[in-house]
Structure formats: C-alpha cells, structure tokens
A and B are shown apart, each in its own frame.
Chain A
Amino acid sequence: MRVVAAMSGGVDSAVAAARMLDAGHEVVGVHLALSQSAATLRESARGCCTIEDAGDARRVADMLGIPFYVWDMAARFKRDVVEDFVAEYSAGRTPNPCLRCNEKIKFAALLDKAVALGFDAVATGHYAQVVERPDGGRELHRAVDPAKDQSYVLGVLTAEQLARSFFPLGDSTKPQVREEAKDRGFYVASKPDSHDICFIADGDTRRWLTERLGEQPGDIVDAGSGQVVGAHAGAYGYTVGQRRGLGLPRHSQDGQPRYVVDVDARTNTVVVGTADLLGVNALTGDHARWCGPAPEGVIEVGAQVRAHGEEVPATAWADGDRVEVRLSERVRGVAPGQSVVLYEGTRVVGSATIGAATLER
C-alpha cells in the first residue's frame, strides 16, 4: 500500500514509519506544520510543531530513505482545534484538543489530502491496535501497553477512518519502542515524550486562555453555604475536579478541602464544594462517534472519562447523536467537554463529548 507516515519528529512516529516500511509498504513521511508561526522555535523539545521537530522528522526520513514533506495545516488546526479549545473553555467546559486533532486533522484533513494525492492510508505513532475481522471490517483496540494506551484519543474515529489507519506501535511497550529506535540508529531515540498541549508552549493553560479571553473577574461560591468565598479572574480558567490554584483560604470552616464542582459560564461563577460533591454516575454525551456500526439498545460497556483514567463498568444507550451512560460506581471529577470513550473488552465501541454529569440515586 501507499502510506503517509505522519511524522511529528518524536520517537514514536519515527519507529511507526520504519515499521510500515519494513512491512513492505511504500511510505512517504509527512510532518504537519500546525503552528500559526512556522518559525516558532521553542526552548524545550515538547509539543509537535517546531522547526526543530520538523528537522528531527526529516532526519529520520532521510535515514529511512523515504521522501519527506511538510504539509501546512496551520489554518485548519487553528480553526478546528485551537478555536474550538477556546470556545469550549469559554463555555465552561474542558475540551481534549488531542482528540479533536485526531478527529479533524490527522484522520480527516491529512487523510483526505493523502487519499486525494493517491495514498491508501495514514500511519501514526499512536499506541492502539487495529484488528481486522474475518469479514474484512476493522476494529480499534487498546494497545498492549496499558501505560501508553492512546485508544482514548482515537475513540472519535469512524469505521471509514479506521479502514485507512495504521497504528504500528500498538503491540509494543514504550521501552521496546525506544530500544528499537536506538537499534535503528535514530538519534530521536532518547527525545523526551511530548506532553501537555502542543500549542501552549509553557503548559500554563489558564494564562494562555487569559491572553485570548481577557480577565473576566467573578465569584467563587461555596456549594454548601451558597456564600461567596473567593474571587477569580475568569471562570474559563477552572475545571471540574480541580483543587489547586483556587486561591481560597487554606482551611475552610469545616476543615475539608474544596474542589471545583461546577463552572457556570453563563453567570461567570466557579462553584466549589467538598469531595463528596464530585462523585457522579450518570453521563449524557453528545457528538457520538462510533468505530463501527452504531450500537442498538442498551449495551454493557466499560467507560473511560478522561485520557489516563480508569475504565468503569457501565451501561450505555445510544440515541442518534446522543449517548446516555450509567456508571456502576461513582467517578470523581468528570468535566463536561471531556469525552467518554466506551469499550467492550479491549475494543473501542465509540465516544461522545460529555455534556452533563450527575449523581443518580
């Protein structure tokens, strides 16, 4: 097959490209330029869109002897990922931009362009497995390395997207991949993992949002007493479940720590409460995406509500674009805007964006 290997400049996508080549595919390396300012040079090796990263990716492509190109997707990325990120926070939700990037950029804009140019598929360095069924259909499964499993951020892929996706690292652990990169002579073998959000260079999301949305002073209200207990500079800077950075007196009257339990964008209010108020067991999701046919009726699943969270047994019921999920146990700190990804065993069933999380008795 003719395959585009998306190469970020990191160790994972380097090994993924090498494995596709070993498997006999015709591989072309493509680095996505996602930053608005292509000349951005950051001090550290995090993120995935610096000149240095493009150079690292190009060097690996040279070693593999494959053609390499940089595709400019900055405008699409800004519109579909960055602006969506700001709008979601602004509406009091907590988005996952990696998921959005996979949905809109890597397996949409990139894949579509690749197909139009005559390629058959896209390969990335995500840790997840594609399993081919006897009927030829493809299933998305968790990676064998639970510590690195990235099936959560791929839960937005549809069957059509999966049909043209390869994840060559799904059967390996991160240490194995690093070892392989070393054996292959890739000098990116010891490059640190990228983490946080690639377009927020210093990792300070609240400050980044403040630069874009301006300060919007408002009250921090205690859920128990209904009283104003503090002030904030913008409700968008808070996430349900957050404990640090609230600027509240160290000890509340009852001596229990306070967490953000609700962010009300309409009234610009941050509501704090005790830990017991964080537990929820019923989720409503919208923007449902299925990695195969949409399920019918009530299904027994495992539900994961954040990128590196535990899977909780649950029942789910799909209704068009909406999904109702009932968790078998209470889960703390479920933030609207995050995705709930549903699993059957290791298989990804689908995902939805969490709209409301409540406690049903």
Chain B
Amino acid sequence: MTAYLDHAATTPMLPSAVAAMAEQLSVVGNASSLHTSGRSARRVVEESRERLAKAIGARPSEVVFTSGGTESDNVAVTGAFQSRREQDPARTRLVVSAIEHHAVLDCVEHLVAREGATVTWVEPDARGVVIADAVRAAIEEDPGSVALVSVMWANNEVGTVQPVRDIVRAAHEHGIPVHSDAVQALGHVPVHFAESGLDLMTVTAHKVGGPLGVGALVVKRSMALVPQTHGGGQERQVRSGTLDTPAIRGFAVAVEESVGRLEEEAVRVAALRDRLLTTALGLGYGITVSGAWEPGDTTRRLPGNAHLLVPGCEGDSLLYLLDAAGVECSTGSACQAGVPQPSHVLLAMGVPEQEARGALRLTLGHTSTDADVDAFLAALPAAVERARRASGMAS
C-alpha cells in the first residue's frame, strides 16, 4: 500500500469529475462551431463556466479558460504588464511577493530581462506571511510606476494563507490592479473572487480533483489584458484556442463539489494534519514545522499542508527512503533536472540554507486517511536516522 501524501502536487480526480469528463470525451463538438454539435459543446462550456463562476464568487464573463495554473499566471502577469505599460509608459514596475510559485517568479524575471520591467520583491515574515503594509510600502516607493501587484492566495510550500483582501485594499488606494495565484487555495480555504476585490486570479483543476491540463484566469471586466496566445479569438480574445470541453466540464464539477464540502473537509483534513505534525514534532529529532501553524486552525494555513524541517538530513535522502517505504511526499521546492534546490520560500522566510535542505512537505487531500498518516509516522524514524548517516556524504 502506498500512502500518497503529495496532494499539493496533484490530487486524485473526484469520481464525479471522472464520470462527467468521460461522458463528454465521446461526444463530438467544437464549441466554436455553429452547427448543432458545436452548439452542444458550447452549451457544456458555458454551463461549466457558470457553475465554476458561482463556486468561486465570480461572474461567468470573468472566467477565461486556460491550460492550467502556469498559463494563467503568465497571461495575468505578462498581459497586465503590457497592457498597463501601453496605457502609461511609466508603469513598468511589478510589486511581487518573494514566495511566489515559479510560474509567477520566472515570468517576472523574464519581463525584467527582456521587456524592461523592474521588480520590487516583497519579503514575507518568518511565518511566510506577506504583510499588507509591506506591499503598501513597496508601492509607495513610487506609486506612479507600478503596473501590477501579484501575491499568491496561499503558499504551495508552507501553506501560509495570505491577507489578500488587505493587500488588494492597499493597492487599490493607488489604483493599482492585483493578481493572485489561488491554485493552492481553491477548494481548501474559502475563495471568493468578488469579495477579495482582486482584478486577476489564477485557478487550476487538478489541485481540486479535476483533470490535469485545464485551469482558468479570472479577470475582472475592467481589467485589460494583452493576449499572449493569438488565433481564433476564443475566451474574450485573451486566450485563443479550441476549448477543451470534456476537461472544462470535469473542472467545473470538481470545483463545485470540493467547494461545496470545503468546511467539513477542511476540519477533517486539518485534524489529520495536526496529528501528523504533533507526533512528528514529538519524536525527538528536533523536527520543526515551517509556516503559521495552530492546531485546529483551517484558515491561516492550508488544512492539508504539513511542512517539516528535519535537522541534519537532506530532503532528497528522506524522499528516497520514504518512497522506498511506500510513502510519497515532496521536498516542496522546485527541481532543476531532478535536483531539489534550496527553497526560495524558506530562504525568504529567513531559514538558513543548511536547514532549508532538510525540508519535507506532506500534503493531505480528499482521499487521505488515518492510515496514510500512520504509514508516514511509522516510516519516519528509520528514514531520519538513515538520512542523517547519509548527510554530508554528498556535500
């Protein structure tokens, strides 16, 4: 038996989403065609758009379907940057948190390297929270130069939920639009687009029990974006390309279901997470938890996120040993050619590089049970002892 504790990487599809998608896969129809089959597909897409919009507190016309989180982040950051610069050439500065996913980070670095953008990175506090006042201070260095603010809704590594509404308020005082990558938040903590005040929001299907390869960028009607994909003019001209009707249908079903049962599921998953953390911290290996954690809490940290620092271990050794013991998890940080890099999130939170190398991320989800937590806790002591012996051998 394998204990799958990497739901933040991707989570199993919900049976209802599989059924809806599978049914749609055998139906012909391009949603852009004018004949009967096309209209049928179009209807499925629009109904899905409405269901999705309702579940996330947005208007259907604000939903732009994409291929997933990375594309949505790229369209949001690049499209908004270019559009704002067109309206006012002085607006070339991006105010971005230092703990963003690489889909935002690398996009920003691309704009800095190739399109004359500048960036002000906003550092988080030691728990991984991006304080609204820090965003405000970054903006007020020169408000007239800012094109866009981007701060994720919840961090993918340490699970810290960000004060999105406060950040939006600070930016809107200066009339600056705000984007938030809500990929990890959707379906796990309450996400309401209209109430958040956001101008742009990234979501994806496969983190909430939908299929891989489909996501959406939620765009306020007032927000102009320069398209990044050119072609048939689908999705408000923002994102051309034939719509993936089956995936979109599965996406909407998954979001509706996971948002619908969010409250009880958050409590259930957080209880598993709390037991995992409490026991792991009590093992006597000096293990610490990163980020903002308070047992019972389901709003300040993603309910399913457990992020550990194991002193004296290399995360990749732990990963191998746990994998060999049937426990699947992650170091949490990005890989380059399969080599885990010290996490930029932990470094930004002030964790020393050596400690950051012992990072282990366990993320629970809708299929997680007590047995998964037990399997991890049973495998951990031997893995830590082995990994400690191996550490230093390779550096």
Contact = CB atoms under 8 A, between A and B. Distances in A.
A33 B337 contact: yes
B339 A118 contact: no
Contacts of B321: 117-118
Contacts of B387: 117
B338 A31 contact: yes
Q: Which of B317, B390, B394, B395 counts the most A-chain CB atoms under 10 A from its CB?
A: B394
Nearest to B357: A72
Contacts of B339: 33, 38, 70-72, 74
Contacts of A113: 317, 390, 393-394
Interface string A88-112: 0000000000000000000001101
A118 B338 contact: no
A116 B338 contact: no
B395 A117 contact: no
Contact of B324 (A67, A73, A109): A67
B338 A75 contact: no
A116 B390 contact: yes
Interface in B381-395: 386-387, 389-390, 393-395
B316 A69 contact: yes
Contacts of B340: 72
Contact of B337 (A39, A73, A75, A112): A39
Contacts of A109: 393-394
Given A67-B324, A117-B390, A76 B395 contact: yes
B121 interface: no
Report whether over half of chain A's contact residues are helix, strand or loop; otherwise say mixed: mixed
Nearest to B321: A117
Contacts of B386: 116-118
A73 B338 CA distance: 12
Interface string B331-359: 00001111110000000000000000000
A118 B393 CA distance: 13
Nearest to A38: B336
Given A116-B386, A117-B317, A117-B320, A71 B394 contact: yes
A277 to B, nearest CB: 45
B323 interface: yes
Nearest to A37: B336
A70 B338 CA distance: 5
Contacts of A31: 338
A11 interface: no
B395 A75 contact: yes
B393 A116 contact: yes
Interface of B: 316-317, 319-321, 323-324, 335-340, 386-387, 389-390, 393-395
14 contacts: A28-B320, A33-B338, A39-B337, A67-B320, A69-B316, A69-B338, A70-B337, A70-B338, A71-B339, A74-B339, A113-B317, A113-B393, A116-B393, A117-B317
Interface of A: 28, 31, 33, 38-39, 51, 54, 58, 67, 69-76, 109-110, 112-113, 116-118
Q: Which 6 A-B pairs have the closest CB atoms?
A: A70-B338, A116-B390, A113-B393, A38-B336, A116-B389, A72-B339
Given A33-B338, A72-B394, 6 more contacts: A28-B320, A58-B338, A69-B316, A74-B339, A113-B393, A116-B393
